[in-house]
């Protein structure tokens, strides 16, 4: 069973990202979008959490949400994949289920 | 006049994900039209509101980050950014929009509105305010 | 109520502000002014163009106080005062000039 985990809240305002990474199984995909994209940046207080996820999971971030917030690719942690809306649809279809951490 | 009060708007939320940032900015602009002494503080995720290079064209919502540039025209010259909040997010002053104002008492010289302050410095500044509004 | 500009129909809100500011063209201002029995002169256009530039840069229509000050800086003190601006736009420089410029009503304007 493969699962797509989505996080759309800022990691500094809610612990959704932290809980997601703690409970998502190896081999899962984590997608950060909306205010969740702030978790994808280098040098933040939550960078270690995301680095942990990157060891065993695929971590994606929504490109249009990055662009809206002024975050360019150079500011992202290494290994994070930038995706768009059609990729989001593909990921939802490819995985058996979607777990949305709100 | 005793009718003039020191207002401080505290911005603590990221833009776009929720409406707080835009609502706060609208209230600030309305309030500033009434000749009050208005300061702003950006702390926690509020710092993300004034990040450079925002482009919402793919989201189909309005990019209101250019509007912060008008704050100087509205007489808002003190914009405080908490150092701890910047550091927690891996950001520096260079990542923020360089907000300026023209000093009428200094031959309209252009000056920086943003002051990066520590939490303890900000605590003192908050203590001096008469009205605090948190968004 | 929709207005007719160069053969195109444009939607406006109940106060006459253009619904889609991307539809604006100079003729919009002329049509709206005519509805108010107002003839636009170069002096009106100075203010309308200034407002459009301000909106382009800051994404807001400035408050009257800010507009007055900024006009004074750009076009001189004889124009940067409420008397001059109210003579040009008797319904209020913020409301009326912003309307002709295709902008929303200034934030904080009632």
Q: Which residues of C80-106 are buried (b: 16+ CB within 10 A; e: fewer)?
A: beeebbeebbeebbbbbbbbbbbbbbb
Query: Which residue(s) pair with B117 in the sheet?
Result: B82
Interface contact flag, B44 A12, Cβ < 8 Å: yes
Asked if A64 lies within 8 A of B58 by C-beta distance, the reply is: yes
**Residue C64 within a domain:** yes
pLDDT in tens, B17-68: 999 999 999 999 888 777 788 999 999 999 999 999 999 999 999 999 999 9
Of the candidates B122, B101, B123, the one whose C-alpha atom is nearest the C-alpha of residue B110 is B101
Confidence of residue C109 (pLDDT cuts 50, 70, 90): low
Judged by 3 or more CB pairs under 8 A, whether C touches B is: yes
- Residue C83 sits in which domain range? 3-100
Nearest CA in chain A to B53: A70
Given CB atoms, is B51 within the 8 Å cutoff of chain A? Answer: yes
- Tell me the pTM: 0.90
pLDDT, residue C108, reads 60
Q: Which domains does chain B have, with CATH numbers?
A: 6-134 (3.40.1260.10)
Is A10 within 8 Å of B14 when comparing Cβ atoms?
yes
* Contact residues, chain A, for B50 at CB < 8 Å: none
| C29 falls within a domain | yes
In a domain, residue C108? The reply is no
Closest residue in chain C to residue B25, using alpha carbons only? C107
The interface predicted TM-score of the complex, written ipTM, equals 0.88
Do B33 and C57 count as a contact with CB atoms less than 8 A apart? Answer: no
C109 catalytic per annotation: yes
Greater confidence (C109 vs B90) lies with: B90
Mean pLDDT of chain A: 97
DSSP chain C: --EEETTEEE-B-TTS-BS-GGG--HHHHHHHHHHTT----HHHHHHHHHHHHHHHHHSSPPPHHHHHHHHHHHH-TTTSSHHHHHHH-TT-IIIIIHHHTTPPPPTT--
Q: Is residue C105 part of a domain?
A: no
pLDDT of residue A38 exceeding 60:
yes
The CATH number of whichever domain residue C27 belongs to comes to: 1.10.10.370
Full set of structural domains in chain A with CATH: 3-101 (3.40.1260.10)
Domain count for chain C? 1
**% chain B with pLDDT above 90:** 84
pLDDT score, position C93:
86
Tokens of B106: 């200094």
Element spanning B39, H or E: strand B37-42
The predicted structure's pLDDT at residue B108: 86
Mean pLDDT of chain C: 90
Q: Give mean pLDDT, residues B79-96.
A: 97
pLDDT, one tens digit per residue, over C54-75 is 999 999 999 888 899 899 988 8
In a domain, C17, yes or no: yes
**Structure confidence at residue A11 (pLDDT):** 97
Select the residue of B62, B66, B108 nearest C58 (Cβ to Cβ): B66
b/e sequence B53-86, b meaning 16+ C-beta within 10 Å: ebebeebeeebbbbbbbbbbbbbbbbbbbbbebb
* pLDDT at residue C110 is higher than 80: no
**Is B16 at the interface with chain A, CB within 8 A?**
yes
**In chain B, what residues touch C58 (CB-CB under 8 Å)?**
66-67, 69-70
User: DSSP state, A80?
Assistant: P
C touches A (3+ CB pairs < 8 Å)? no
């Amino acid at each position: 069973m493969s699962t797509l985990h989505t996080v759309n809240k800022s990691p500094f305002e809610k612990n959704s990202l932290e809980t997601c990474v703690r409970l998502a199984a190896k081999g899962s995909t984590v997608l950060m979008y909306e205010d969740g994209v702030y978790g994808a940046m280098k040098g933040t207080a939550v960078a270690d959490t995301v680095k942990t996820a990157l060891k065993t999971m695929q971590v994606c971030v929504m490109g249009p949400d990055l662009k809206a917030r002024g975050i360019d690719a150079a500011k992202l942690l290494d290994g994070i994949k930038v995706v768009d809306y059609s990729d989001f649809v593909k990921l939802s279809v490819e995985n058996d289920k979607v777990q949305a951490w709100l | 006049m005793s009718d003039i009060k020191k207002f401080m708007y505290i911005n603590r939320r990221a833009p776009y994900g929720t409406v707080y940032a835009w609502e706060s900015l609208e209230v600030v602009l309305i309030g500033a039209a009434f000749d009050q002494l208005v300061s702003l503080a950006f702390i926690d995720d509020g710092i993300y509101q004034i990040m450079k290079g925002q482009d919402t064209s793919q989201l189909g919502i309005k990019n209101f980050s250019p509007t912060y540039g008008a704050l100087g025209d509205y007489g808002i010259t003190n914009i405080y950014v908490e150092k701890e909040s910047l550091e927690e997010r891996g950001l520096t002053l260079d990542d923020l929009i360089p907000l300026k104002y023209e000093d009428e008492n200094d031959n309209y010289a252009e000056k920086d509105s943003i002051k990066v302050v520590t939490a303890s410095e900000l605590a003192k500044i908050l203590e001096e305010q008469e009205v605090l509004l948190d968004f | 109520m929709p207005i007719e500009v160069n053969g195109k129909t444009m939607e406006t809100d109940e106060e006459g502000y253009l619904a889609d500011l991307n539809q604006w063209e100079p003729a919009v201002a002329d049509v709206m002014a005519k509805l108010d029995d107002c003839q636009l002169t170069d002096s009106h256009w100075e203010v309308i163009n200034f407002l459009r530039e301000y909106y382009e840069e800051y994404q807001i229509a400035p408050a009257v106080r800010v507009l007055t000050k900024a006009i004074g800086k750009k076009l001189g003190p004889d124009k940067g005062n409420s008397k001059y601006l109210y003579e040009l736009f008797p319904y209020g420089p913020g409301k009326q000039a912003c309307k002709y410029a295709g902008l929303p009503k200034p934030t904080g304007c009632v």
